[in-house]
Amino acid sequence: MTRDKSFRDSVASFVGNVGPKNTGPVFYVAVVVVVVMLLNVAALVWLVVDHERERAAATPCKNNPLLQTDLSGCDLSNAKLRGAPWADVKLAEANLTEADLRNAELTNADLTNADLTGVNLTAASLNRANLTGADLTGANLTRADLTSAQLADANTTAVVWNSTTCPSGDVQNGPC
């Protein structure tokens, strides 16, 4: 007990010598309030920065008009690209292995007239995607999920179809 009392007396003595004299507890309460406010601001800044970093990782190139039109050759493997506007986008030779291209509301992802020549869509989620008029020449659709996708007028010349889930839901090793 004497050790605790001695420590308490030392702290009290030190605190008594800090700050303006004759201010009483108001000064110390103000210091505590300022410290708590600074900690809250630091925590808020950390949360905002962390959220923006996660959002940028989750949706690379989204909301960037310079990149929305031509993403040819980009490595977007494992990207969560739900809700990204992909109509008329150029993704030629891009790597979209295991990418999630479904719409955020799980409705049709819009890839109409997209340039997907030579794109790697291995194990990509394209269920309910609208690929009308898309150029898939030489694309790799190995293990891709095209359940309920629309392929009307899509160019599927030289597409690699290995264990691909077709729009009908059937898994095939040939054209859907």
Determine the average pLDDT of the residues in 157-163.
Answer: 95
Q: Tell me the two tokens of residue 57.
A: 């990782």
Domain count, the chain: 2
Same domain membership, residue 78 and residue 53: no
Closest-CA residue to 70 (of 56, 52, 86, 81): 86
The pLDDT-based confidence of 118 (bands split at 50, 70, 90) is very high
Query: Which of 20, 40, 58 is the last residue in one of the domains?
Result: 58
pLDDT of residue 140: 96
Same domain membership, residue 137 and residue 69: yes
Phi/psi at 130 (5° precision): -95, 100
Read off the pTM.
0.58
CA distance 111 to 103: 11
Same domain membership, residue 162 and residue 120: yes
Same domain membership, residue 81 and residue 48: no
Same domain membership, residue 147 and residue 77: yes
Same domain membership, residue 133 and residue 70: yes
pLDDT of residue 67: 43
The pLDDT-based confidence of 47 (bands split at 50, 70, 90) is low
Q: What is the pLDDT of residues 121-143, one digit of tens each?
A: 999 988 888 899 999 999 999 99
- Degrees to nearest 5, angle at CA 153 with 150 and 139: 75
Same domain membership, residue 97 and residue 18: no
Same domain membership, residue 133 and residue 102: yes
DSSP summary character for residue 171: E
Domain that holds residue 103: 65-176
Q: What is the pLDDT of residues 49-104, one digit of tens each?
A: 665 555 555 554 545 544 456 778 888 888 877 766 677 788 889 888 888 876 55
Cβ neighbours for 71, distance < 8 A, ≥ 6 positions apart: 61, 89, 90, 91, 94
Same domain membership, residue 107 and residue 166: yes
Query: Which of 19, 39, 58 is the last residue in one of the domains?
Result: 58
Query: Which of 58, 84, 99 is the last residue in one of the domains?
Result: 58
For the chain, give the longest Cα–Cα distance.
Answer: 88
Cβ neighbours for 126, distance < 8 A, ≥ 6 positions apart: 101, 102, 109, 111, 144, 145, 146, 149
